[in-house]
Structure 1
Amino acid sequence: MSALFPANPASSAIPAATSASRRRTIVATTIGNGLEFFDFTVYGFLALVIGKLFFPTFDSYGQLLLTVASFGVGFIMRPLGGIVIGAYADRAGRKKAMTLTIFLMALGCALIAFTPTYAAIGVAAPIVIVLARLIQGFSAGGEVGASTTLLVEHATPANRGYMASWQFASQGLGVMLGAVVVGGLSFSLTPQAMQSWGWRVPFVLGMLIAPVGMYIRRHLEESLHISPEAAAAPRESSLKIVCTQHGRTVLAAILSLVGGTTAAYVVTFYMPTYAVRELGLTPSVALFGAALTGLISFALAPFVGRLSDVVGRKPLILWSRIALAVLIYPGFLWLNASPTPAVLFIVLGALSIGLVAQTVPGITMLPEMFPKAVRASGMSLVYSVGVALFGGFAPFISTWLLNATGSKLAPAWYLVAMTVVSLLGLVWLRDHTGRDIDAAGAHAAAA
């Protein structure tokens, strides 16, 4: 890894043990978070199959709408998970919070894997599925905040972008693995076998997250050190501190998050369904496209993180969002004019590059905005609320807009609008690139 990413001059004096600790943190966080996102996102890739099995009383459009809505339901619990688990991470430590999220995600996977379909138990089936998605959403709301905070706190001011980039890289890894598994099953099984039992396989595999994740994260080095006296002392609510002392930053950060999170969930999770239903491509081709977006995120994120450490977070976010806004509509136009696998892969590849270029510096900025005592809480609150409001329901809104307008280009206009709106929040955010975020007064101003 050091050969791919040579040491930054500003951090060349770091002791070898500390550098080794950072490498272990990257590996453990990437694998654990990748497994979590595999569990959480594979549901989106199986939307068409799950819709037929759990919402059979509706027509095909109703089935899809309800399935992507239940995908979005998982995001309703993200803010609560972010608040509860973020506060736990700020009081008990990042490692304990990340261990908790692993078991919650595995529990949600188990519920989905073994729930009988609507044909067997009636309306109880979709109810259990929604419950499972709520548990997974609660888990994911705390996972991103705790893991990103841990990565940032193991970094130096000169390489925080690179360290935090592995959080988004791990999301790409989870997406890629999920798409490959579902795509392989779709390609190798008959439609009957896929609907009978094949769709359950990814969720059974996802249950492995508990023992694997526990083993990996047991060796992480905690970045929050609290004395027994401080731990026992009464403490003001983390949520109260974040909202009262950093309220302007929270609002600006959520607004800034709109573009990236909408783009992520439209490009990565809605496009496979769009490619099958609207473009007539096969499920295996559509899922290969999703795997491509995951691969680009995983491979490109560390390089973008390094770049953000050099040029700054805000300039990179600004220009990548402008580029993405310009590319979205022509990409959808070309895709509808020539709906071939090659065009799909080219469009998804271009949009994915723009997505990585804005998301990596964006996810690095979030924990940099808050002091260490409430960093996980602040990061979790901003990320989970932003994703819940604008990311999780992006597939639902895209599906509804497409049906309401009758235009296959409707998702493109929605994505362009959200990208432009997100630039407003960016104006009010302070760029902490290269600064000591734990220095006194580092978070006194927001712009």
Structure 2
Amino acid sequence: MIADEAFTARILESISDGVFTVDEEWKISSFNRAAERITGVPRGQAVGRYCFEVFRSNMCESACPLKRTMKTGKPLIDRTGYCVTKKGKRVPISVSTALLTDASGAVIGGAETFRDLSELEDLRKELASRGPNPLFRSKSPSMEPLLGMLPAVAESTASVLIQGETGTGKEVLARTLHSLSPRRDGPFVAVNCSAIPESLLESELFGFRKGAFTGADRDKPGRFALAEGGTLFLDEIGDIPASLQVKLLRVLQEREYEPLGGTKPVRTDVRLVTATNRDLANMANDGSFRRDLYYRINVISLVLPPLRERREDIPDLAAGFLNTFAVRMNRTIDGFSPEVFSRFYAYSWPGNIRELENVVERMVVLAKAPEIDKDLLPPELQSPVVCAKDALSGEAGAGVLRVRDEAERDCILAALDNFGWNRARTAQALDIDKATLWRKMKKYGINRP
């Protein structure tokens, strides 16, 4: 019997989960090495004390798993919470409990195991800090054609031209294509062509050889070389000068280029993805962009709709950005008030997803309460809620009414979807009464799916 107890003790000492047992008076009777490590309390200071004095958890007072097990006789598995170490550090944990019985089956106390979830929490924060993926979470019908094409486009080697307004997520789409492609293990290199001076853009793309110009004291690889075996993303492709358009065309035709100052061509294995917020077709027609280059980069065209045409995605995008910035700033924020969402739906978002991200970041910085209210909105979003008010300024007469009705219907649908088709909460968010919402749903033929 003594040998069995010693063997059990050695097992408890060897596992990475913390384990302690309590007697019927809730005093700790055993405390393993992992429990010491996680709580920071030595065994000698833990044994004989009440468990809540040593294992200081947010579950101790109102939702103690061990107390529930002692009362019901049923074990609990993986209840999450946190404990506070001897030095005051908060440690995320998962807890499991069981009854402690003697040889005759009589209850003599309880046992609790707890696992340190700090690494998992750090991973969650890292993933959250990378921000939301605005593509795969899309609920908008306007995104369905694009999303349906992604797998096939990603598997191909064809050049892709992504078109869309500034801030719609063109680089995110390019990264998504890369991550779904056979080149996913290769590099993804992004270049904003409009951010680099014309005089430097050629050397940035193709690199240069030692002695090519004053100060070139060594060879320098360009972005094509850095992207070898992967994907090169050229944003704002419409801004590259005519002289460079010719050289880029050669890369696409011959799969080779010459570094600045070089005498021999260099072979390249790079998939080219380009993007623009300009009308390249018109630029090709008026001669400001080479027509042959336009056809080369536009083998597959993907058009990203602006945020005002995918309002259904606003709740998920906003929540994702909120989580990202709350993690980065170490803030605890539960969410947005309904009034905030009503203004989100009503606004036209000329800066698209990037503007929404900036607005959410501003609100997180200024937030003083767990719920973000409308008073933290920037001035341009503080106006009274009139769904898609900006749609009224573009046309006149019947055209205005048609656009307004379409926008209002989209706004109502997005709000209903966000609030689980709860009409009371939806009406509150849209700042209208339930009867008005009901009438508008009948007017636009909106039925719960």
TM score, norm. by length of structure 2:
0.24
TM-score by length of 1: 0.24
Greater helix fraction, Structure 1 or Structure 2: 1
As a proportion of its length, which structure holds more strand?
2
